[in-house]
Amino acid sequence: MKLNPKKIKTLGELKEAGYQSRSIKDELRENLINKIQSKEKLFDGILGYDDTVLPDIERAILSRHNIILLGLRGQAKTRIARQMTELLDEYIPYVRGSELNDDPLNPLSVFSRELIEEHGDDTQIKWLHRSQRYSEKLATPDVSVADLIGDLDPIKAANQRLSYSDERVIHFGLIPRSNRHIFVINELPDLQARIQVALFNILQEGDIQIRGFKLRLPLDMQFVFTANPEDYTNRGSIVTPLKDRVESQILTHYPKTLEISRSITEQETQITEEQKSMVYIPELAKNIIEQVAIQARDSEYIDNKSGVSARLTISAYENLISAAERRSYILGEKNSAVRMSDFWGIIPAITGKIELVYEGEQEGPYIVAQNLIGKAIRAEFLKYLPDPDGMKKRKKEGVDPYAEIKNWFGEGNVVEVLNDLPSKKYLEKFNEIPHLRKLVLSYFKNASKEDIPFLMEFTIHGLAEFSQLSKNIIESGISFKDLLSSVFTMENDEEF
């Protein structure tokens, strides 16, 4: 029933309007049913979960279940919980001045019961918007029972001259104050076991225990917990009786395709309109960004129990655009396009978002990040161009599409790509390499004019990753040369 909050200000007016109380779980359930029947989109901006996670959440809500979202970091667990507020009624009434958001027709606290007893239908009510019915707590080892449940308040007892046996001396914690809310505890295993035990009765019976009080408050709440599977062993665990009381445990996951991953990155990336108009980013560059995260999740150097958050690709995307933007400002150019060499600039976005195992620590985060970029280039290279390793197995002459390029480098030619090279000179560098443009146009038939310089550089980077050419870091750039000549020439350049 939809009521007008501006017109209804007393308990009597609420009764006359025909308002009927219902629990938050029934509220979520009935509103979900209405949205499903009207074909409305339930969760906005949650991509890749349409056939997996979201149906599980809908089933849990229809079953009136509390929920645990279990998954690695960066899998939109908290975002899903926050969007559940859209399934709540737009407004609900509560007793004015109540700490527990008391339902006027079903008050819990002594304050509200006494107020209604004194004023009857003239009791003042207020209205709570759905956006205010969400509470969230990050679980940390220092969280106490008093924080979540409550404790005695001696100052309140002294000021109001109340006995310590009076329920009104209680200072309620976050959970009672979130009555009729969606209440989320993030990283549940980080809560100490004794704190988790304090949640038993709330989940099972709907009541709370504070010191010696025989207090029964059937709180009306929808609990959503989030947890990382890594936490079960590294930092703590969910105690079994608590886990048993949470009816639905739903597993989240990373995007199952590169296309979904790209959509998430583009949706979440924070870039200005100026950046959008100034910087051109080829589609292949976007794929390489996603491929970095895909390779990281399978890397032997990275702890796969920790996971690789979607925030890695989001930050990397932003850094990539900023690298091209920065070059544009330095050179005084109005527009810029992303280059392969700009991927050097995404390393800071990688190193801060990966947890290394022992072997990775030995290599160092910087080298691991470089290796991930290299593997990403290799993976994308094979989608569009012939496998350079396969060329070695062919004995017939003239079938290697890279022969002219490699021969040119074999003659002693070197290409140095500086980070801040003007666009015209950047293109000239790759136009010097025979057959390169022709090769790119033959395999990337739909490439635009803006894509061609990037694709030529991508091809050279790919050949270097397959050990057909040598790629070395020089001051402010990268140098490409023949592989054999670089082996016999004693240089101090660092290998990329």
Confidence at 490, pLDDT banded by 50, 70, 90: very low
Note whether 109 and 149 are same-domain residues: yes
Average pLDDT, the chain: 89
Pick from 34-43, 135-144, 384-393, 469-478: least confident? 384-393
Considering the domain architecture, whether residues 349 and 213 belong to the same structural domain is answered as no
Query: Which stretches within 98-246 are classed as H helix?
Result: 110-119, 145-148, 154-160, 174-177, 193-197, 200-204, 231-234, 240-245
380 and 243: one domain?
A: no
Residue 146 token pair:
């008093």
At 494, the pLDDT band (50, 70, 90 cuts) reads very low
Round to whole Å and give the CA distance between 188 and 176.
Answer: 18
Indicate the number of domains in the chain.
Answer: 3
Tell me the per-residue pLDDT of 127-172, one tens digit each, with 9 for 90 and over.
Answer: 999 999 999 999 888 888 888 888 877 777 677 776 656 677 778 8
Reduced to 3 states, what is the DSSP secondary structure of residue 120? helix
pLDDT tens digit sequence for 238-255: 888 888 889 999 999 999
- Find the mean pLDDT for residues 258-274: 94
Could you tell me if residue 284 is inside a domain? yes
* Rounded Cα–Cα distance for residues 176 and 268 (Å): 34
Residue matched to tokens 């074999």: 410
Considering the domain boundaries, does residue 153 fall inside one?
A: yes
Q: Are residues 247 and 259 in the same domain?
A: no
Please tell me whether residues 375 and 403 are part of one structural domain. Answer: no
Residues of the chain with pLDDT > 70, as a percent, come to 92
Residue 402 has pLDDT above 60, yes or no: yes
Boundary (domain end) residue, out of 337, 357, 384: 384
Q: pLDDT tens, 334-350?
A: 999 999 999 989 999 99
Rounded-to-integer distance, Cα 241 and Cα 186, Å: 18
Final residue in a domain of this structure, among 210, 228, 251: 251
Please determine, for residue 371, whether its predicted confidence score (pLDDT) is greater than 90.
yes
Average pLDDT over residues 182-194: 90
Between 39 and 473, the more confident residue is 39
CATH number at residue 346: 1.10.8.80
Domain that holds residue 334: 254-384
Tell whether 187 and 294 lie within a shared domain.
no
Query: Is there a domain that residue 6 lies in?
Result: no
Is residue 3 over pLDDT 80?
A: no
Residues 373 and 403 in one domain: no
Distance CA 141, CA 190 (A): 6
